[in-house]
Amino acid sequence: MKGKIFVITGPSGVGKGTIVKEILKKVQNLYLSISATTREKREGEEEGVHYFFKTKDQFKKMIDSDEFLEWAEFAGDCYGTPKFPVNNYLSCGKDVLLEIELQGAKQIKEKCPDSILIFLAPPTFEALEERLIKRQTESIDKVKIRLTKAKQEMKEVKLFHYLVVNDKLNEAIDNVQGIIVAERCKIDNCV
Ligand code: ADP
Ligand code: 5GP
């Protein structure tokens, strides 16, 4: 049986990375797709672990040679999901988790209609702002761009199959885990 694609999308700073890290520890047979990006490496990030860091030229070459399952521009940088590893996991019956932004999630929904799309939302816009500022990974200008983006993204929640509000972290982790477990137990999977 082929593996499934789980997509986690939500505004920058909502807690996607934090939740994904915990989910990968708790859920067996689930593999994270490592994206390519043109954004600068943050302190503590490692090549091939957090992202494959590319120049704009390298990224363009990957687009031209059709290496992405999806890709999008976000806040001035490009991000994309390399096709080959995802297809490899799926054909071996392994499930894959994509942590991507809205435009990418839309592309996946279109290209891979069996994918399960989860939207992660903050409890309030103020909480999101506080998390982004506290994280201290972007300049205030970039935080503002990400917050403007967040308002647009929140309007498209209806495209998703599930909504999880990340208020209390442990509850949000349990809910995402519950969704994955329930999807794996669906009768459709066996007939
Ligand atoms: P994203 O990957 O969506 O951009 P992160 O996982 O980097 O977001 O989380 C942004 C910041 O918010 C981090 O500093 C993280 O520790 C914090 N955070 C995540 N979840 C919660 C939560 N439920 N309550 C408070 N802070 C949180
Ligand atoms: P960050 O710069 O904070 O790591 O990521 C910015 C946004 O890009 C986040 O919403 C993240 O989920 C998204 N992102 C990361 N990788 C990809 C990808 O491969 N494709 C798309 N479309 N978005 C991605």
* Strand ranges (E), the chain: 5-9, 30-32, 36-37, 52-53, 68-74, 77-82, 95-99, 116-121, 162-165
Q: How far is the CA of 184 from the centre of ligand 2 (A)?
A: 25
DSSP string for 152-177: HHHTTGGGSSEEEE-SSHHHHHHHHH
Q: What is the pLDDT along the chain (191 residues), one digit of tens a residue?
A: 899 999 999 999 999 999 999 999 999 999 999 999 999 999 999 999 999 999 999 999 999 999 999 999 999 999 999 999 999 999 999 999 999 999 999 999 999 999 999 999 999 999 999 999 999 988 999 999 999 999 999 999 999 999 999 999 999 999 999 999 999 999 887 66
Question: Buried b / exposed e across 129-168, counting CB within 10 Å, b at 16+?
Answer: bebbeeeeebeeeebeebbebbeebbeeeeebebebbbee
Q: Show the domain range for 149.
A: 5-189
Starting from the CA of residue 103, give the closest ligand.
2
Q: How far is the CA of 136 from the centre of ligand 2 (A)?
A: 17
Task: Supply the residue whose CA is at minimum distance from atom 15 of ligand 2.
Answer: 100
Give 19-74 pLDDT, tens digit per residue.
999 999 999 999 999 999 999 999 999 999 999 999 999 999 999 999 999 999 99
Residue 188: the pLDDT is: 80
Number of domains the chain is built from: 1
CATH code, domain with 165: 3.40.50.300
Residue 1: the pLDDT is: 86
Q: How far is the CA of 75 from the centre of ligand 1 (A)?
A: 18
Which of 175, 154, 146 lies closest to 102, judged by CA?
A: 154
Residue 189: the pLDDT is: 75
